[in-house]
Amino acid sequence: MNWWIVWLVLFIVGILALGFYYGTKIKSSDDFVMANFSLGFFPICGSIIATALGASAIIGASGKGFTMGMSWFVANLPYVFFSIFLAVLLGSTIRKLKLYTVPDLFVRRFGKAAGLIPAIVISILYMTPTFGMQIVGMGSILTSIVGMPLTWAMLFGFAVCVIFTLMGGLPSVAWTDAVQAVLIVVGLIVMFFLGLQHVGGMNVVLAETPAEIKSFLGISKTEMLNYLVIFGPFYLVWQTTWQRLAAAKTEKIAVRAVSVGYILCAVVGFFAVGIGVIARLSLPANTSADLVYTNFMTTIAHPAIGGLFMVSLFAAVLTGATSFLLSGAANISKDIYQQWIAPNAPDRTVLKVSRLSVAGMALLGLGVALFIKDIITIYTYALSLSAVTLVMPVMAAMFWERATKSGVITSIIGSFIFALVWNFIGRPFGLHEIIPGLAVSFVLLVIVSLLTKHSKDEEVAAYYFAYKNEKDPVEEMLSEEGKVLDA
């Protein structure tokens, strides 16, 4: 019996059935994109884990452990701290503003024109290539399981992902994420200890692994600084976290679930990097970094167990893809269509546009996966430019009442151009463009805001302070309907 295929078929049938079930319950665009703001601790926490631990976080982390060692764990940690910081400090404000997307914040605070560029940056520049990365990841996994040609494997993964997302929206994604999170966590931990047993135990690993691979600080200070910044500030504006905070049925659930989810991501990240370090004692030194995890798995695990672990990996990649599609679809349907094209469109039309947006983004992402070879480079640019252009304006909307629309738009455009130029001239002093880009964004925002006046369509407020004593509108709504449960 081919256990790899058995587990994969069972998994795909299960998630499609769940997608169909929740699809029958989707009645509005809020249901589709935000699960009608009614999710509890388990689906929120699980969704955070499963979405954050996509192709790069598992396959990539194991590969980095194989080539770079434990330094990668430290370099990758800032996203955990920044995400928890966001939840604890701004989670309440995001919920009280009832924000669907990051650009939604720009529209409310600085006017409609200020939200258009962030919507395009997030939906097209970030979400689309990120979805393409997940398609490549799914294709690679399917190829290793069943020997299917990579192109056909990517097309199959694409079809499963799009059908599942179109049917059930966020409710199905969040609940399957929760189940997948358990598979991911258990699978990686068991893999780690099976790997240790396979190579002879921890003493053997410590004795035979080079010092720079074992060290948590085995790379240069400049390289470490670049990684810390790359994987830090961006997560203040990572729309996936914002949507999970907003979709929870109470503030307490939102903050706790997101915080616990990211803490568990750090734990899982440690084991993923550790698997790569252990694999150095078993796999050939010239093994491709992207194949370390799957090759090591097939080496040490019986197919009956390994098939389940492989499914957990496929689940991680699939859930990342679905979340990126839904998040980008919210930008297109809410921030672009509803704001600029049809402000008075009925909810049924917005729901239809949300589903069409999922399909359109998926096709574009598939094109990226099939025809653009260096997806990782594109993804890195997308992450960098998103952080450089959005972090400072978001912080200004939350904490600085004097910020103006002119200052924000100048900051977004100016920092975007600066980051491109900095990268083009070869990253002087070895610094990644995020570091000087954020500085330029801050300077432009402050100077232009101080030199200009608020426009008529601005809501002049520092939202963190203005909404500090407001009640949570979702809790009030659900309380009136008698649906709030104890956290």
CA-nearest of 69, 16, 12, 46 to 186 is 46
Closest to 404 measured CA to CA, from 113, 103, 116, 110: 110
Q: Which residue has the tokens 């919210």?
A: 330
Examine the pLDDT at 442 and tell me if it is beyond 90.
Answer: yes
Low-confidence winner among 10-14, 95-99, 455-459 (lowest mean pLDDT): 10-14
**Domain CATH code at residue 210:** 1.20.1730.10
What is d(CA 237, CA 223) in angstroms, rounded to the nearest whole number? 23
Q: How far apart are CA 177 and CA 183, in angstroms?
A: 10
Domain housing 190: 39-374
Beta-carbon contacts of residue 17 (< 8 Å; ≥ 6 apart): none
Using pLDDT thresholds of 50, 70 and 90, give the confidence band for residue 368: confident
The answer to whether the CB of 408 falls within 8 A of the CB of 393 is yes
The closest of 330, 317, 388, 328 to 126, measured between CA atoms, is: 328
pLDDT band for position 116 (cuts 50, 70, 90):
confident
For residue 137, name the pLDDT band (cuts at 50, 70, 90).
confident
The contacts of residue 418 (CB under 8 Å, 6+ apart) are 388, 433, 436, 437, 440
For 115-143, b/e burial (b = at least 16 CB within 10 A) is bbbbbbbbbbbbbbbbbbbbbbbbbbbbb
Q: Which among 260, 195, 201 is positioned nearest to 48, based on CA atoms?
A: 260
The torsion angles phi and psi of 25, rounded to 5 degrees, stand at -100, -5
pLDDT score for 486:
44
Q: Of 20, 477, 50, which is closest to residue 248 (Cα–Cα)? A: 477
Asked if 332 contacts 119 with a C-beta cutoff of 8 angstroms, the reply is: yes
**Which pLDDT value is given to residue 406?**
95
Range of lowest pLDDT (169-178, 374-383, 391-400) = 169-178
Handedness of CA 434, 80, 64, 298 (dihedral sign): negative
> For the residues 131-140, what does the mean pLDDT come to?
79
Q: Give me the sign of the Cα torsion angle 463, 466, 468, 470.
A: negative
Whether the model pTM is above 0.85: no
Written as six digits, the tokens of 411 are 């900051």
Strand spans (E) along 97-221: none
Q: Do the domain assignments include residue 29?
A: no
Read off the pLDDT of residues 59-89 as tens digits, 9 standing for 90 and up.
778 888 999 999 999 988 899 999 999 999 9
- The pLDDT of residue 336 is above 90: no
- Does residue 191 form part of some domain? yes
Number of domains in the chain: 1
17 falls within a domain: no
Lowest pLDDT segment from 245-254, 322-331, 349-358, 475-484: 475-484
Q: Average pLDDT, stretch 260-280? A: 92
- Amino acid 22: pLDDT: 62
Give me the pLDDT at residue 167, please.
Answer: 65
Find residue 39's DSSP bridge partners.
Answer: 248
Evaluated on CA atoms 334, 131, 79, 420, the torsion sign reads negative
Whether 473 is covered by a domain: the verdict is: no
Provide the percentage of residues in the chain whose pLDDT is more than 90.
29
Per-residue model confidence as pLDDT tens digits over 29-69 = 555 544 455 677 888 888 788 777 765 677 778 888 999 99
- Only one residue has tokens 């499609």, namely 16
Region of 486 please: left (phi>0), alpha (psi -120 to 50) or beta. beta
Indicate whether 415 belongs to any domain.
no
pLDDT bin (cut points 50, 70, 90) of residue 102 is confident
In a domain, 463, yes or no: no
* pLDDT score, position 375: 56
How many other CB atoms are there within 10 angstroms of residue 401's CB atom?
14
Pick from 335, 309, 366: which is nearest to 144 by CA?
309
Residue 390 lies in a domain: no
Nearest-angstrom CA–CA distance, 184 and 271: 11
pLDDT confidence of residue 87: 94
> DSSP class of residue 454?
P
Instruction: Give the separation between CA 349 and CA 91, rounded to whole angstroms.
Output: 30
C-alpha triplet 460, 462, 466: angle, nearest 5°: 95
**In angstroms, what is the C-alpha Rg of the chain?**
22
Report whether pLDDT(394) > 70: yes
pLDDT averaged over every residue in the chain: 82
Determine, yes or no, domain membership for 421: no
Q: How far apart are CA 364 and CA 276, in angstroms?
A: 32
Band (pLDDT 50/70/90 cuts) for residue 485 is very low
pLDDT tens figures, 278-325? 999 999 988 888 778 878 888 887 777 777 777 777 777 777 777 777
pLDDT at 221 over 70: yes
